[in-house]
Structure 1
């Protein structure tokens, strides 16, 4: 575990138990029982996992609750190891470091009604929104929750409760593309509803395509740039140099520039670590960058990169550090 960051909260894991096949539910509380910082529907925490990396996880609890945070973490075998580290390395009674809640997926309270689309673990921020909307009791909503099977459907029992009949559609495709749920009838005719979608990139791309005729401000997505941080088949190792005459470090396949810097005692400001927030923007002096962020403009990419996701197309990158 990396040394404590004073900007992070140290919370106790009150529960760590399966929420579905391959999904772990974590309940976090303050060690002395104090209230936790408030959060709004759709918010997330940055969590320092046992490996030392920071990863983002959406809060899925009721925003009215101040005594606990609830996270549901899917064990991603093909990811960068953060979820595996958290699921396998954290048990009830442990303490972990987390940021205060941040929200990049804010629920618009002015919307008269909501359409929620969740794919797999994408249910986590959506569930927080649903809990908020139900507590308010004044807005209509409908959830379309799409998963591979009943066994991997987190919160299935809660969302199948009789009082949610008519508000929730759960569909399992059994891994068969021909059995995918048809969302086009939902989006064919624009309404005054706001759409919130979270899940795998193919699902979000499909929803984006189907809602191109909706008002842009009424359609919202979140994925923390999950596809941006996933290793690619053509990734290769490269070197970074810290300043023109500084130390040279190797960046292996499957490891980010940020992780290499952190491993050598160099702290770079960070938040999302997925190429979506812009916090870790770093200048570079030489080299060819493989930009993988969703933040920088073409002009900005000529001088800067996001060290949480970007790699090099050249053998050496000289960073302005």
Structure 2
């Protein structure tokens, strides 16, 4: 996929764990436009490819703005952005894509959990400009950890509900009243997995196509019961150990092997590799059943047992 070389023009801390990065094209070329809900894939300083929602206005943009949370279990992407992507750092990005597009209706309910506020904030400002009716529900752990909270409270006064649960499972926001009665309203939700599952459960009786979700983690790349295994690279004759907390792709990158990747979440197919021997634990969302005996997506899939031999 075509890439654009960008430079970190500005950087500011939004919360203790969330930083906002303003990226401008190194060559000064015009940037592709985008619609609310779009994201870019950034090749982070660690080499990991990560997707981040665009926060700014996508009409004739001169820059791209993303807000990135440093994940406590970061496997390289967000940690390297926070630690190494200082003003002046150059980064390669891929053109904007949108898997979370807005529909054109009259009323909207926008639901955000934590860092999921990034596409929701972009959507809210766009819809407000269009004169659409909207409500926002923004749930998070605490005010201190809520990105863009002051801006949202000011710009959407009377149209936003903010709820902090302080990490108490018994104090989470109750969406029952908001979703018990299906309406012509379209719902857009972005946030952590428990929030997504709750909204799906509460809105299961809504007509199809009215409730929309954005989730950058469609598969669990690493699971708690994963174990280390070995991968033999047939062409080079080398063997690489894949630790229990790293993907094949990450282990190869750590060992100095050049790898092709894009989404690194099992959804795009860029890292598809020929599987010569061994039984794979397929975790991608791309391969057809008939391909699973001879192909593997090395960004997410693992060995079921023993070792794998790859055509690398």
Q: TM-score, normalised by structure 2?
A: 0.91
Residue number among 121, 124, 130 corresponding to 2:115 in the alignment: 121
Say if 1:226 and 1:16 are closer, same or farther in 2 by CA, change over 3 A: farther
Partner of 2:161: 169
Deviation track 1:205-257 (CA, whole Å, cap 9, x = no partner) reads 1111111111232222122116613x333222212233599543222232221
Cα contact 1:225–1:276 (8 A) shared by 2 = no
Q: Which residue of 1 aligns with 2:299?
A: 308
Measured against aligned partners, the alpha-carbon deviations of 1:122-162 in whole angstroms (never above 9, x if no partner) come to 1111111112112222x21111110000000000011001x
Aligned partner of 2:271 in structure 1 is 280
SS at match of 2:151: helix
Residue 216 of structure 1 aligns to a residue in which SS? coil
| Alignment equivalent of 1:51, drawn from 46, 49, 61 | 46
Q: Count matched residues.
A: 311
State the partner residue of 2:195.
Answer: 203
Structure 1 residues 150-194: Cα deviation after superposition (integer angstroms, max 9, x where no partner): 000000011001x41232111111111111111111111111222
Cα RMSD over matched residues? 2.2
- In 1, distance between residues paired with 2:139 and 2:269? 31
> 44, 68, 71: which is aligned to 1:73?
68
Aligned to 2:35: 40
* 1:221 alignment partner, one of 198, 213, 220: 213
**Unmatched segments (≥5 aa) in structure 1:** 1-5
- Give how far 1:320 is off: 4.5
Q: C-alpha separation between the residues in 2 aligned to 1:259 and 1:280?
A: 12
Report the CA distance between 1:50 and its aligned residue. Answer: 1.2
Where do residues 101-112 of structure 1 align in structure 2 (5 Å cutoff)? Answer: 101-109=96-104, 111-112=105-106
CA displacement 1:95-133 (0-9 Å, x = unmatched)? 211111111112123x33221111100111111111211
Equivalents in 2 of 1:214, 1:198: separation in Å?
18
**TM-fit CA distance, 1:64:** 2.4
Pairwise CA distance, 1:276: 2.9
Sort the Cα spacing of 1:165 and 1:65 in 2 relative to 1 into closer, same or farther, 3 A: farther
Contact between 2:265 and 2:284, CA under 8 Å: does it hold in 1?
Answer: yes
- Tell me the SS of whatever aligns to 2:220: helix
| 1:25 matched to 2:16 | no
Structure 2 segments unaligned to the other structure (5+ residues): none
What's the TM-score, normalizing by structure 1? 0.89
Question: Do structure 1's residue 159 and structure 2's residue 148 form an aligned pair?
Answer: no
